[in-house]
Chains A and B, each alone.
Chain A
Amino acid sequence: MAPQMKGLTQFIMDLRAAQDAAEERKRINVEVSNIRAKFATSLTSYQKKKYVCKLIYIYLLGLSEEVRFGLDQAYDLLSSSNYLEKQLGYLLVSLLLNRTGITPLNFVQELIERTQTHLIRDLRVDSDDINILALLFIASNFNFPAVGHQKTVIITNTDPTAEFWQELIPLVYGLCVSPTSTNLVKKKASVALLALLRLCPSVLITNDNWIPRLLSLIDDTDISLILSAVPLASLLTEFKPSYAKAIMPSVAQRLYSLVVDATCPSDEFYYDTPSPWLVIKLLQLTEHYFVKTGSSDSLDATTVQSIRLVVSRSIQNALVPRLAQTSRNTHSAILFQAVSILTYLDASPDALSGAVKALVQLIDSQETNTRYLALDTLIKLVARSEAKIPFVEHLEKIFTSLHNKDISVRRKTIDLLYIVCDEMSYTQIVNHLLDYYPSSETSLRASISVKIALIAERFATDSTWYVSSMLRLLSISGSTANPNVRIDGVLEGEVWERVAQVIVNNEDLTIKACKYIVNILRKSSGAPEGDSLMKVSAFVLGEFGYKLAEQSNSENEQFGINSQFQILYDSYFTSSLLTRPLILSAFLKFINRFPKADFVPDIMDLLEVETLSLDLEIQNRASEFLKIATFLVSSNYEDVSFAKSLLLPLPPFENKENKLLRQLGSLALVNRSTSSFKRTLVGSPAPNGPDNSENFDEKSNPFFEDEAPKPLPLTPNWYGGYHRMLQYDAGIFYEDQLVKLTYKIQRSGYAYTISFTIINNAARNSGATISAFTVSDISTDNKGEYIVNLTKTPDLTITDRSSMEFEARICDIVENKCGPVISISYKCSGSFNSLRLKIPISLLKGLSGTTMASIDDFKKRWVQIGTLLGVEEGELSGLLCAPHRYNCAFLASTLQRIGFAIVQKTPDNPGENIMITGAGILKTLKSNYGVLISLRSTDLDAKAFQLTVRATGAGLSAIMFGLVQEILSLQN
């Protein structure tokens, strides 16, 4: 530890000794004016540091305005050659620059304007220490990630400060990738670059050749460098999703060695876990990839298998009992992260139930943290899983955590019960929640009742069960079942409304519901009922009570209309002002049905009294209802029929949407980050469900601007291999001093496999190893005419040789030269290399010869095509100039090699004109085509030929012509 500054210590002690705020303030004022005066004079280095520290201390006490004058001094310090002065200068600038009253964008603009020259100077200087100070400043102060509602700050190309950034960013990039940078500098630079690229995404568009070099940082051997570079890699793959796939094999391999092999340098362990933070970061990167693509299908089998093993090992590790808390925490942290990708791995039912078992076991943990997170992870797992996970055996254990001491654990438990609920368990879960309800926290009740209501409706196969459960819910929940009271007092989406809707829409339920209501209300006579129950009772009895009354005979007097009336009437004055209007409506409906009943005068009296009510709604209703009621009981036929026309029965509800779904709260967030959320929460798409805007699509990419990036040039000398592959099914595809690629093609119909062998040439020349060998991109610009996939990824490190495989399928007629470009990057003895090679996706690979009995057959077909498609469509003929003399045998064997069967050829006799005819069938996924070819020399030198192609597909002859021409003439 460096020595203390005495004056600073004294100042802090003085302030701490101050009796009250006024004394403290006085001491500060004295110091501030002292510092102001001192800054005007020339100070020693020690004094400068001391006063700056004092200013920072005063700032930290909350007095930012008082010390703002120190900003000029801070900028001066940036130019200092003293390390500590510079460091304090950067700190002071970042603290003192005013943020209040300006937008973050303006803040960043001002910050770069005032610091850019300093930063550039400090990044260029040949000193790691100074470079790092500048990088730290950038990483800490230009960091504006998109979080929650905060908008990202974006500097566009037209921004007034654009030039500053364009000068600064390449310097930081340089420090990231320069072979002369130390790993420490690279670490800081990669974080600084991440912040800068977030601010200025346009820089990446113009420099997309940076991406592979930056991504190779995560293939480094220094684990601590990888940790720093993963967030940058995450941003880059988001910018260019095609790279995400390219880095997955290396990510999986790294995870495998950390988690399964548990190998890493001994000082990279945190207690007994190898580099847990890196493991978690890499798992997050993997999860991110899966969430974007929706599955692991696009990855090769080895990679997927490695990830599977990592997940299952993480689960095993977490189940081992451990004494130290740090060790338990790190293993659980890895477990929770690993389980969240499990569902993307096509996990077997065994694997899933194994994971569930492990997590359920953790619900019992002594630590609240673990319990809470285990529940949270279970929710995520179930929500994302397509397969059904049986939970019945675990229900009891989950129920116990409803009584946990931490309310957030209880809340999570309720969420979990909701999400695991299925046909097997719904009655058990609903009943348990109903039993639990009275003892639960008030703040949890809204959530419980909404979930009970949703479960009951979703699984209700037995309508009686639905009604009895819901009425039980309403009777115990009282008025707390209003989850969403809006400010103006209007209730929205209440449980009771939904129950009423369901009863109205299901005729067979109406009488049963009335009976239940009467029973419940009678049982609790005297005790004030919950408001929700009263509302639903008033509504249902008013609407359907007469049916029950008609059905019940005199023995069942308790269900008679008089009895129904009495129940509602007794509850009237104990009900809330919001419920009373509903009861009044019910009474009016009673009069409508039973104008001669004994209770009519009671109702009239009540209405009369309520016309004086202080509540406007009630007063209004009462006077209107009184008028209508008078009509109903009058003897005037017209009055009666008019009044009856006002009281028609309720039509069924048409709105099928359940408003309760909007009240799932944080549960809806579970799926927010995943676009592949498959199991809908309630049968219909949840309103807060998957966010489909997150497509794996560059167009919706926030970084993607209109200007399309220029395609990178192909590696020089690519054409030789391309041309070879056009006609030969095996050979050398590419070779330079460091690597050599040989290939072999296996055809099967319209599909074929290209197997490459990668040979490390550098090893022969200089004994160097190739590392970080990655196929970073396969770019195609076709519209589905063909499909190319990397089916076997090469090894990352190639000491001698490795192999990779592509599978190509020709779906439709492919234009020439629109084959895919594969980008490969690798490191060799410190240098970073990349290759961009084009693979021909040639129709010829789907061509096979057809034997024809005779030349007459050939002629017949030839004419057929001509008449069928016409010469315009079906034929292409042209003159071909060969670079040198060909003989007939060579030409015939070339045509045979590329797939034609030779029908007839002239004898190989110099001095005679050459004439060859061939035929073949071209297979694509969509259709098969016949292709006929004739090649005739037009001079005796056999250097000029007339080539004619006829084919049964429109436009096909031109393509075949081009291919044969390319093969014979070696013209690009």
Chain B
Amino acid sequence: MAIQYLLILNRQGKTRLAKWFTGSYNEEERQGLIEDVHRLVSTRDLKDQSNFVEFHEGKLVYRRYAGLYFVMLIDFVDNELSVLESMHFLVEILDSYFDNVCELDLVFNFHKLYMIVDEIFLGGEPHQMLKKQVLRRLEYIDSISL
């Protein structure tokens, strides 16, 4: 009952972040999943189709922000809308942290993305969903990351 992975892909399918919350996939499976997810998500209609689609043994929840797809795979019993909103929460954090985030910020700060995601989602569950606290914590981590 949780998020299995979080992918940030651009429209061409380049991976900007692949965060695997479960250890069950090996490298090859991971690569295959990324390709399948991109193929499925990039062909869906943005306007008339929902942000959820059944995929393998779960549901993909995804949303496009400018040129980037944010995608999560969740279990059948999970609550799609709350996951979708948690993804939006992540985007809001990125936007505040990078001060108007764009794809390039994610490219050049790929190692920080892991740290940011770890503060919000842990073990595949929404972990800290208070904007102020997350930003304060990120600021603190930056201050000791010398």
Interface of A toward B, CB cutoff 8 Å? 1-2, 4, 8-9, 12, 16, 53, 56-57, 60, 62, 64, 82-84, 87-88, 91, 98-102, 104, 107-108, 129, 136, 139-145, 147-150, 153, 184, 187-188, 191-192, 194-195, 224, 227-228, 231, 234, 267-268, 270, 275-277, 280-281, 284, 326, 329-330, 332-333, 336-337, 368-369, 371-373, 405-409, 666, 669, 672-673
Contact = CB atoms under 8 A, between A and B. Distances in A.
Interface string B70-108: 000001110111101110110000000110000000011
Contact of B142 (A1, A280, A373): A1
Interface of B: 1-2, 4, 15, 18, 21-28, 31, 45, 48-54, 56-58, 75-77, 79-82, 84-86, 88-89, 97-98, 107-112, 114-115, 118, 122-130, 132-133, 137, 142, 144-146
A411 to B, nearest CB: 10
10 contacts: A99-B25, A140-B123, A149-B57, A191-B125, A270-B89, A277-B129, A332-B81, A368-B50, A408-B53, A408-B54
Contacts of A16: 107
B123 A191 contact: yes
A19 B72 CA distance: 32
Nearest to A141: B23
A60 B115 CA distance: 16
Decide if the interface of chain B is mainly helix, strand, loop or mixed.
Answer: mixed
Nearest to B26: A99
Contact of B4 (A100, A147, A191, A672): A147
B108 A12 contact: yes
Contact of A140 (B21, B52, B80, B142): B21
A276 B54 contact: no
B71 to A, nearest CB: 15
Nearest to B137: A184
A368 B49 contact: yes
Nearest to B19: A140
A139 B54 contact: no
A9 B79 contact: no
Nearest to A107: B23
Contacts of B75: 147
Given A2-B145, A142-B23, A150-B24, A12 B126 contact: no
Given A56-B111, A100-B26, A333-B79, A231 B130 contact: no
A276 B82 contact: yes
A406 B48 contact: yes
Contact of B50 (A143, A332, A369): A369
B64 to A, nearest CB: 14
B52 A369 contact: yes
Contacts of A57: 110
Contact of B128 (A224, A368, A372, A406): A224
B111 A408 contact: no
Nearest to B89: A270
Given A369-B51, A408-B49, A333 B127 contact: no
A419 B113 CA distance: 45
Choose among A143, A276, A281 the residue with the greatest number of B CB atoms under 10 Å from its CB.
Answer: A143
B31 A336 contact: no
A700 B76 CA distance: 23
Nearest to B146: A84
A147 B126 contact: no
B118 A136 contact: yes
A64 B50 contact: no
Nearest to B145: A84
Contact of A330 (B57, B80, B85): B85
Given A329-B84, A406-B50, A408-B53, A99 B79 contact: no
Given A56-B111, A267-B132, A270-B89, A369 B142 contact: no
Contact of B24 (A147, A371, A405): A147
Nearest to A270: B129
A91 B142 contact: no
A1 B94 CA distance: 11
Contact of B54 (A98, A194, A666): A666
Contacts of A104: 23-24
Contact of A145 (B18, B22, B56): B22
Contacts of B125: 191, 228, 231
Contact of A143 (B22, B26, B132): B22
A330 to B, nearest CB: 6
